[in-house]
Amino acid sequence: MKIPPLITIAGHQIKIVTKEKLEADEAPCVGLAYTGQDLIHLARTCHGVKLNSAQRATAFLHESLHIMSVLYGLNLTEKQVSQWEVVLYQYLHDNHLRF
């Protein structure tokens, strides 16, 4: 999956920024969604290890789902976002879907 520099969700232009590494609550993470700022940060590495394309794609889907949940009022829990991340990635990947 090629991750674009900009996506649109519910009429919001969401900027995708790649950083070498990310932290949330002083712990390494692979992505962060900033809904109020229309921004997603994605990491290149986690714990000093370069993320592969599948890890980056699932992080992108995960953070996009967080923003969708807020903008569409879905109120998804972290567990639900994590489950949908896997479901969507597997569906897109297994069926070679590219939009």
Q: Is residue 71 part of a domain?
A: yes
Instruction: Please report whether residue 24 resides in a domain.
Output: yes
- Share of residues in the chain with pLDDT > 90 (%): 91
* Mean pLDDT across 19-38: 94
Beta carbons within 10 angstroms of residue 39's beta carbon: 15
Predicted local confidence at residue 9, as pLDDT: 97
pLDDT category of residue 98 using cuts at 50, 70 and 90: confident
For residue 26, name the pLDDT band (cuts at 50, 70, 90): confident
How many independent structural domains does the chain possess?
1
Say how far apart CA 65 and CA 85 lie, in whole Å: 7
- Whether 69 is covered by a domain: the verdict is yes
Mean pLDDT of 70-93: 96
Indicate whether 33 belongs to any domain. yes
**29 located within any domain:** yes
User: Nearest to residue 22, comparing CAs of 4, 42, 49?
Assistant: 42
- The parent domain of residue 23 ranges over 6-94
- 88: three-class secondary structure by DSSP: helix
